[in-house]
Structure 1
Amino acid sequence: MSAREEILGRLRDALRDSPAVPEVPREYRSTTEVPEAERIAMLVDRLEDYKAGVTVLDDDGIAPRIAELLDGAASYVVPEGIDDAWLKAADAAAPGRRRTDSTGAPLSVAELDATAAVVTGSAVSVAETGTIMLDGSSNQGRRAISLVPDHHICVVRAADITTILPEALRRLDGTRPLTWISGPSATSDIELERVEGVHGPRTLDVIIVRS
């Protein structure tokens, strides 16, 4: 037996009757009954407070709004699983700008850095905290594409908006690469002066789609 195995064996013996993590009481709120309209209003309020742009619309308004937000962008990147219908108006207005980041052919950091914007879907959102969560699904892509371009356009479906965090966590797979977004990237570390675009996109536009 090696010294390492002996040490680990002793630790296991010592913890056998006294688990390292005791039972934690979970008396906090875990569910709510809040109508969709109220959840949307709450999320909009928080996102706007964080200086994000927010639009609430129906399905048929997604493509025109994305085209408006991409107006003037020299290029934009999307994950391979994006809904093509979302991009029809943007591509018709200015063909050739779209870049697709795929599993088989991921864009380099330099290519992403040279891209003006990114369009993604989302996994789940928390209205109370104004947090949008991406889990790397095919319509969201890998973390780099939502962090490197300077402008993030994110589509959030109302059915995916929860009121509180415990509700959202139950919908997520903790083994997936999760990105939690609460407004544009910003920091006030230096003399409390707000600087945007330090750790991610400088501009966040959220499109909330009613059920």
Structure 2
Amino acid sequence: MPPDLPALFVERARDHHAGVHACTLAELPDLLGVLLAGASGVVLPAGTPPAWTGRLGPPTLAGDLLTAAQLDAPGLAVLTGCALAVAETGTLVLDGGVAQGRRLLTLVPDHHVCVVRAAQIVADVPDLVRALPDPTRPITMISGPSATSDIELNRVEGVHGPRRLDIVCLSAAR
């Protein structure tokens, strides 16, 4: 029996301290509105589907126009899609494609919300390599919020990137 890739992805992403939320396309705007309600602003990459943004309350900002200093503003969040996701490791894979934007968008703001379609989830890293649309493009692999541990193994999140990562797993129907 083949593995349930979305379920494995959810389990592994939660192991990395990511918030993981499941919904259908019809439920997506409301869920995104809730997840991003506390943000001072929401950065949107070019190509963000308009259907995703219908319930966003904070002001939205065009990600392609912002500098690193502007992206580091307190309370700022970014909403992206992804190219693929890896079930075995709970990893998001971004390649700068549509609804992903440039790498800086996902590495600087304090909160990253990423939408993953079930069809984008592959089993493992070899499957990822085979499935990459353009293997020559630079990719960013994200497994949970930014984190580090000191010598006493005290975990600190957000030192070198987003302190919060929420993943929305989008299914065709529930």
Q: TM-score range by the shorter chain?
A: over 0.9
Deviations along 1:81-135, one digit per CA (max 9) or x if unpaired, are: 1111101111xx44xx100123xxx311111111610000000011011111000
Counterpart of 1:179?
140
Alpha-carbon separation, structure 1, partners of 2:97 and 2:151: 35
Alpha-carbon separation, structure 2, partners of 1:203 and 1:42: 21
4+ long deviations beyond 3 Å: none
* Match status 1:149 vs 2:117: no
Counterpart of 1:82?
48
Give the aligned CA root-mean-square deviation in angstroms: 1.4
* Match status 1:48 vs 2:14: yes
Aligned-residue offset at 1:190? 3.5
Counterpart of 2:121?
161
Alpha-carbon separation, structure 2, partners of 1:111 and 1:140: 18
Where 1:88 maps in the other structure, the secondary structure is: coil
* Match status 1:111 vs 2:70: yes
The counterpart of 1:98, out of the listed 43, 60, 78, is 60
Q: Given the superposition, is the C-alpha separation of residues 85 and 129 from structure 1 closer, same or farther in structure 2, using an over 3 Å criterion?
A: same
Normalising by structure 2, what TM-score? 0.92
* Match status 1:73 vs 2:34: no
The range that moved more, 54-63 or 149-158, is: 54-63
The range that moved more, 56-65 or 117-126, is: 56-65
Aligned-residue offset at 1:191? 2.7
Q: Percent identity?
A: 49
Q: Is the 8 A contact 1:34 1:163 kept in 2?
A: no
Counterpart of 1:128?
88
Number of matched pairs:
170
Normalising by structure 1, what TM-score? 0.77
Counterpart of 2:2?
34
Q: Which amino acid aligns with 1:140?
A: Q
Alpha-carbon separation, structure 1, partners of 2:28 and 2:39: 17
Larger radius of gyration: 1
Alpha-carbon separation, structure 1, partners of 2:117 and 2:160: 25
* Match status 1:62 vs 2:28: yes
Q: Is the 8 A contact 1:117 1:153 kept in 2?
A: yes
Q: Which amino acid aligns with 2:52?
A: W
Alpha-carbon separation, structure 2, partners of 1:196 and 1:72: 19
Alpha-carbon separation, structure 1, partners of 2:89 and 2:139: 16
Alpha-carbon separation, structure 1, partners of 2:96 and 2:136: 11
The counterpart of 2:149, out of the listed 165, 169, 188, is 188
Unaligned segments of structure 2, at least 5 residues? none
